[in-house]
A and B are shown apart, each in its own frame.
Chain A
Amino acid sequence: MPKPLQYMGQVLFYLLFVVVIGFFSTSPTYTHLPPDETLIKLSFSHAGQHVGACRERTPEELAKLPQYQRKVTTVCPRERSDVVVELELDGKKLYHVVMKPAGFSRSGNSNIYRRIPVKAGKHTLKARLKDHDGDDYNYVRDETVNLVAGRIMVIEFKAETGGFIFKNHAS
């Protein structure tokens, strides 16, 4: 092959090389979230109530224990109940989850992290939670929210401050 042709071939090769690298290092653009959508992130950790009630130890039981353990006279079951959460958007069920307590003896917290894509716009959002064996949801929050596209709304839960917290939605 004549020299000039060889040089041209080489230039072409290097050009192709950098074009491939330059192109695929940024393109094609990826749409992670459609422009009219946003996310609700449900994220919290909460310990469900104990399953069954605490009871007093009988005198016989106490007698069997070593001296230093006898001060505590009530025994409580370690197992906790599932935490159930339900989300409703504009009256329709959006998400339902039964969260098991962590640990082998089911004595730990129930943890959740979930991303739920939704359409942006004004919605009524209702969140319910129950953390005991019974049927009634003991925490409820119902609100009209304005979900801006791309702005994540985080739903947290803190029993100490009264339950659900809706964070970050434009009001």
Chain B
Amino acid sequence: MTATKQKRSMVRRAQFALEGALNMVFGNGLNPLYYLGALGFFFFWVVVISGAYIYAFYKTGIELSYPSVEYLTNEQWYFGGVMRSLHRYASDALVLVMALHLLREYIMGRYRGARWFAWFTGVLLIWLIFAAGINGYWMVWDKLAQFSTVSTVEWLDWLPIFSEPMSRSFVTQEVLNDRFFSLISFAHVTLPLFILFLLWVHIMRISKPVVNPSRGLATWMLLALLVLSLVEPALSQGPADMALEPTNLNIDWFYLFIYPLLDAWTAGQVWALVIGSTLLLAVLPWLPPRFKNIPVPEIHLNDCSGCRLCVADCPYEAVIMRPRSDGMHFAEEAVVIADRCVSCGICAGACPSSNPFRGEEDYMSGIEMPSITMSGLRTSLRSDLEKLSGRVRLLVVGCDNAVSVLQLQSASVAAISLPCIAMLPPSFIEFALHEHHVDGVLISGCRAGDCYHRLGVLWTEQRLAGKREPRLRSRAERKRIKLFWSVSLDIKELESELESFRASLTSNQTLTKVREER
């Protein structure tokens, strides 16, 4: 293992430990770290709604803006003031969850290959969100606004664009222009519209994106921010006065951290830092080490009936339907859009023709991963299962993105690992139980609520529960199937799960009964 890989896996372990702890406290459904993107949307909406209210009272003008915000804070503290505080704190929370969301996708490596699109649009979102937030602080036109405005304009003046420095328009109270206030007040409505548009683009290539946190999580988050708003209302820091340089300031470090840096560094250095880190982030999906993408699935029209199951299950909208091109009597056929595909194989697991009970030796499914075909999977499964010995013989199927199940292989345990657990067609479980007489099948994968390929865990649960096509048939006894979504990268947990499964099978009367029948 290289040093960077080792470091990365350490970071992932730490992430898993933290998320595991929160799972214990919240349960997977409420774990905030599983809903960072959704929380981002939620805080965005809180900002929009609270903002709409305070905007109704906001007055645009050098002498008007500050008093209009003060009125809300003091005269109308019970509602307008609370709305102002919510507006500020939800904006801060938005930056916080955005940063964590970015970090998490990075640590999990979910930004390469086809995922570049969400990553790249995410980088653009950072700019827009900071622009809107900083713009918001200017609206108040207090000392903090003055400090931030003057610094920004000085920073912009460094660029060789303007022959007369814009800063000259902010030097004294007399030269200050009302048009500036019209501009920022207009921008403060327009920027969020751009953000909303970009958010829509951000999740455009994601099917069934989670844009709302669960109701419990949303309610508690909102309550928490409300309490904060009442305990620590957002306040202004005295009216701006261009004749006086602001001295001590209470800075919102979520949005305004760049300004102290502008005091310490030259404008050019800060430009280099900001542009440099943006560029670095933007090209990250293409930087080495080269992303080894598993070849994307192929369609075999002879076995494609146009049933749309692969379209329904693809987590990245990478399979679409088009009119039939081969003259068969079906209306449509599936097509894979390679640019959007993350090679999870879920589509192959969804295809009804991925059936191990089929007669032909080298059969093809309607949609197949070229590197792991269904007939190939059947062949290797067969040979593994035939070698099994011992009183209780088990099959473990896992996924490449969670703890590696291959470590569990032994004389009585066969193990296979797939790119995603939902690549496993349920009929393979039935096949192992009935054709090969294994005593139990343990299905493992990423943690519930946190599938690497987004929907694999959910689809597997639903298929096995008979709630989603392709369903697991009822002749595969549920007692002999166990689902276990591991909570850590620690193999011990999975081992002990396997042992308790084995024990339950041994003590299980069904096992003896089935044996006798055989």
Residues on A facing B (Cβ under 8 Å)? 1, 6, 9-10, 13-15, 17-18, 20-22, 24-27, 29-35, 38-39, 41, 43-45, 102-103, 108-109, 111-113, 115, 149-152, 154, 167-168
Contacts and interface: CB of A to CB of B under 8 A. Distances in A.
A64 B501 CA distance: 105
B164 A102 contact: yes
Most chain B CB within a 10 A radius of its CB, from A25, A108, A154: A25
Interface residues of B, number: 47
A30 B164 contact: no
Contacts of A22: 89, 228, 231-232
Interface in B251-283: 251-254, 259-260, 263
Interface in B191-246: 220-221, 223-225, 227-228, 231-232, 234, 242-246
A92 to B, nearest CB: 22
A22 to B, nearest CB: 5
B22 interface: yes
Contact of A25 (B27, B32, B88, B172): B88
Contacts of B507: none
Contacts of A103: 163
B325 interface: no
Interface string B136-159: 000000000001000000100100
27 contacts: A6-B25, A6-B26, A9-B24, A10-B26, A17-B224, A18-B225, A25-B234, A25-B253, A25-B254, A26-B250, A27-B250, A29-B248, A31-B247, A31-B249, A32-B249, A32-B260, A32-B263, A33-B247, A39-B245, A45-B168, A102-B163, A111-B163, A111-B164, A113-B165, A113-B168, A150-B245, A152-B245
Contact of A150 (B26, B231, B242, B244): B244
B171 interface: yes
B249 A25 contact: no
Contacts of A44: 168
Contacts of A168: 172, 243
A169 to B, nearest CB: 10
B160 to A, nearest CB: 11
A21 B171 contact: no
Given A9-B25, A168-B172, 8 more contacts: A6-B27, A25-B89, A27-B250, A30-B251, A32-B246, A41-B171, A45-B164, A152-B244
A111 B254 CA distance: 35
Given A24-B92, A24-B253, A32-B147, A154 B172 contact: yes
A118 B52 CA distance: 43
Judged by DSSP, the binding face of A is: mixed
A111 B96 contact: no
Contacts of A25: 88-89, 92, 234, 252-254
Contacts of B26: 6, 9-10, 13
A30 B260 contact: yes
Interface string B110-144: 00000000000000000000000000000000000
Given A24-B92, A150-B245, A151-B244, A29 B250 contact: yes
Given A31-B247, A32-B248, A152-B243, A21 B168 contact: no
A123 B165 CA distance: 28
Contacts of B231: 22
A13 B250 contact: no
Contacts of A24: 92, 252-254
Nearest to A41: B171
Interface in B73-96: 88-89, 92-93, 96
Contacts of A152: 242-245
A39 B96 CA distance: 35
Given A24-B252, A25-B92, A150 B24 contact: no
B401 interface: no
A38 B154 CA distance: 17
Query: Which 7 pairs between the two chains have the least Cβ-Cβ distance?
Result: A9-B25, A113-B165, A26-B250, A102-B163, A18-B228, A113-B167, A14-B224
A26 B234 CA distance: 9
Nearest to B231: A22
A33 B250 contact: no
Contacts of B32: 13
Contacts of A34: 247
Nearest to B21: A9
Interface in B1-52: 22, 24-27, 32
A71 B258 CA distance: 58
Contacts of B172: 154, 167-168
Contacts of A102: 163-164
A41 B165 CA distance: 13
A29 B253 CA distance: 10
Contact of B171 (A29, A35, A108, A113): A113
Contacts of B251: 26, 29-30
A27 B86 CA distance: 18
A151 B243 contact: yes
A43 B252 contact: no
A83 to B, nearest CB: 14
Contacts of B167: 43, 113
Contact of B249 (A18, A30, A111): A30
B157 A21 contact: no
Given A25-B89, A152-B243, A43 B24 contact: no
A25 B26 CA distance: 26
